[in-house]
Amino acid sequence: MSSILVLKSSVLGDASASNPLVDEIVSALIAQQPSSSRIVERDLAIEPIPHLTIDSAAVLRGAEPANAEQAAALALSDALIRELRAADTIVIGAPMYNFGIPSALKSWFDHVLRAGVTFRYGDSGAEGLVRGKRAIVVLTRGGFYSDGPAQALDSQEPHIRTLLNFIGIEDVVFVRVEKLGLGPDHRELSLADARRRVAELTTVPITAAA
């Protein structure tokens, strides 16, 4: 059985550009194996992961839980990591908010990047421990950041790539949906291009996670 972990992070609800594209990707992946696909979805805007606190930071850095808040933070992190490890494909919707990723998505990463669990440090530096997975990331942004003068302002795509690579997920593809804020014509063209890209990506078969 293949497993897909779905992470949405748009705060725009029905006006979201990333959520429908994430749904299209998931539907296309399920169509490959309609009777053997398991889906775990987290809408981080509707049910946000708590931001780090002094308590959660302590246990996520390796301390034993000393109170109820710390125990709850560790249990949540363990659950999120189990979902991640069980997935063959991770589909992420990541709008650009003020040149970066939504804080809700950052909180998810803060809870799954744990030394000794999803990565470790060795003599040659950091080593990711979550391998053999594919990530498809839908990037939506109002401007154009893939090239030109504004590219230096993009801390969305490089950040996500770094976080995924750090824990061992190196098969990462991005669906860029840009110029959404430049008028309806640009928006429609960008969404149409993104759908074509989605169609190309979802012809790649899902393989069972190692």
Would you say residue 135 lies in a domain? yes
| Structural domain containing residue 94 | 2-201
Note whether residue 132 is domain-resident: yes
In this structure, is residue 208 part of a structural domain?
no
Domain for residue 20, yes or no?
yes
Instruction: Output the pLDDT for position 170.
Output: 96
Residue type present at position 12: L
pLDDT of residue 210: 39
Residue 12 lies in a domain: yes
pTM greater than the 0.75 cutoff? yes
Residue 182 has which token pair? Answer: 């430049």
CATH value at residue 194: 3.40.50.360
User: According to the model, what pLDDT value does residue 152 have?
Assistant: 79
Straight-line distance from the first to the last Cα atom of the chain, in angstroms, rounded to the nearest whole number: 12
pLDDT at 56: 97
* Residue 147 forms part of a structural domain: yes
Strands 119-122 and 125-128: antiparallel
* Successive 10-residue mean pLDDT values, the chain, 210 residues: 92 94 93 81 97 97 96 98 97 95 97 97 92 96 84 88 97 93 90 87 58
Determine, yes or no, domain membership for 173. yes
| Total domain count, the chain | 1
pLDDT at residue number 36: 66
| Selection from 91, 119, 115, 118 nearest residue 105 by Cα | 91
- Domain assignment present for residue 80? The answer is yes
